[in-house]
Amino acid sequence: MEKSLIILKPEVLQRGLAGDIITRFERRGMTIERLVLRHLSESIAQTHYQEHRDKPFFASLVAYITSGPVVVMVCTGEGVIGIIRQMVGPTNPAVAPPGTIRGDYATTIAENIIHASDGSESAAREIALFFE
């Protein structure tokens, strides 16, 4: 079974969308193995987004994800990383198709409401950061 980390960012909780989004993953047949509501520290956020450290948007990315509580969860199932990436849609909600999570709910690229692991190596690293 493959595993993926998903983070529902602060805007999801502020807008009351967590239940709808979690239901999408369950209806797609994924198992939610772990789920926690937490407020991320700046240190955890910086470690999580370390590949963006040298990019101009890094500070605002860290500020946004630490601005309120987030839902962090691990989904398991056959091929879940690819399936989740399709369900989430492109980072830029302006080009995310309707029916994707970002296409249906996100309003800006800076606050794109959800993070999903982009591969098995990053999923393992991210899951260990948040749960082990």
Range of the structural domain that residue 127 is part of: 2-131
Active-site option among 39, 48, 52, 115 = 115
**What's the number of domains the chain is made of?**
1
Q: What is the tens place of the pLDDT at every residue in 3-44? A: 999 999 999 999 999 999 999 999 999 999 999 999 999 999
CATH of the domain at 11: 3.30.70.141
Quick check: pTM over 0.85? Answer: yes
Residue 70 forms beta bridges with which residues?
A: 38
The backbone torsions φ and ψ at residue 7, rounded to the nearest 5 degrees and listed phi first, read: -120, 120
Residue type, 116: A
115 is known as an active-site residue: yes
Q: Report the pLDDT value the prediction gives residue 132, as an integer from 0 to 100.
A: 76
